[in-house]
Amino acid sequence: MKIIDLRSDTITLPTEDMRRAMYEAEVGDDVYKEDPTVNLLEELAARMLEKEAALFTASGTMSNLIAILTYTRHGNEIIMGNEAHMLWAEVGSASALGGAVMRTVPNEQDGRLDLGMVEQAIRPENIHFPQTTLLCLENTHNRCGGTVLTPEYTSAIAELAHQHGLRVHLDGARIFNAAVALDVPVSELVAPADSVCFCLSKGLSAPVGSLLCGTQEFVAKARKWRKMLGGGMRQVGIIAAAGIIALQKMVARLAEDHSTARHLAYGLANIPGITIHPDRVQTNIVMFEPPITIPAPEFIQQSSARGVRFGSLGGQRVRAVTHRMVTKADIDEALNRIEFLVREIESEAH
């Protein structure tokens, strides 16, 4: 039985081009900035996003933490959505290691933050209050179902933050998915942000890595924080080589993942009892709820036993993520297995 793994696009394996590039990579000591392959990757990322500089890090979680450490001091407050990945899935590092207070504003269904609520959350100058110094955005938005922030919205909320003296960091783990979905240059999506990070190891299919981009001054400070966190990885060009291939060859094909996700969403909508809004699927993340007679943990466990793997977001919410390793034929097979599973469980319940 073929395993159809929809838990995350992080399970993508490197392409043959990536493996060849890794084998042939020219390397040096990156802590001394002497790894030519890392230097090339950082230059490529900065050029594509039209930022002054970029820094190669081990992960998106590390990039986000480094941005917080660079922009804040212990006791500062940062504003983010109540569904932000930085809040839910990064082990509280902003507070535990950065000493920052995380203040949340409700995410709207499409991942946006209401500008009025953000402005109300910014602390006025008062001896009793922490200083608000940073606004964190997310594009695409993971827990909101891979939704996309438009350039117009990002510009408006960044302008508001800047008017109040805040910096803006964009968690763009899947920013290239957003750019492909909107058919706009990625540089246009990230232009209003002071810094942005994106992952190479998700839909772009590289095995490891993230890029943190911003001004020359920001990246110089970030590089020192990376060293403190143990991120000075020496001859890291061996994995940076895969990242170069990811940026050069893997961006345009993300549209295939979006099409596969819609195929999955509309297929799930045809299975009685499953709750889903297929018209809300914008990129490669599909959120749904199994029938109320089947608790989500049981549904995920039973699906996995039948070779279809999903992720859980708590409660009845189930997440599926399409990627290069899953075809539309795989999705059809997964739908057949899920439909049979639902009918089987519901017939037993009756």
| Residue 14 φ/ψ, nearest 5 degrees | -65, 145
Helical ranges in the chain per DSSP H: 16-24, 36-49, 60-71, 85-88, 93-96, 115-121, 151-163, 175-182, 186-190, 216-228, 237-249, 254-269, 296-305, 328-349
pLDDT in tens, the chain (350 residues): 899 999 999 999 999 999 999 999 999 999 999 999 999 999 999 999 999 999 999 999 999 999 999 999 999 999 999 999 999 999 999 999 999 999 999 999 999 999 999 999 999 999 999 999 999 999 999 999 999 999 999 999 999 999 999 999 999 999 999 999 999 999 999 999 999 999 999 999 999 999 999 999 999 999 999 999 999 999 999 999 999 999 999 999 999 999 999 999 999 999 999 999 999 999 999 999 999 889 999 999 999 999 999 999 999 999 999 999 999 999 999 999 999 999 888 777 66
User: For residue 140, is the peptide bond before it cis, meaning its omega torsion is within 30 degrees of 0?
Assistant: yes
**Amino acid, single-letter form, for residue 94:** A
Domain limits, CATH 3.40.640.10, in the chain: 11-249
* Structural tokens at position 98: 């950065």
Please identify, in words, the CATH class of the domain defined by 11-249.
alpha beta
Cβ of 109: how many Cβ atoms within 10 Å?
A: 11
Q: What is the pTM of this model?
A: 0.96
Sign of CA dihedral 181, 186, 191, 192: positive
Q: Is 23 exposed, middle or buried (0-12, 13-18, 19+ CB in 10 A)?
A: exposed
Homologous superfamily of domain range 253-349: Aspartate Aminotransferase, domain 1 (3.90.1150.10)
Contact call for residues 85 and 145 (beta carbons, < 8 A): no
Closest CA to 158 of 201, 189, 129: 189
Placement of tokens 């919205």 in the chain: 153
Measured in residues, the chain has a length of: 350
Domain limits, CATH 3.90.1150.10, in the chain: 253-349
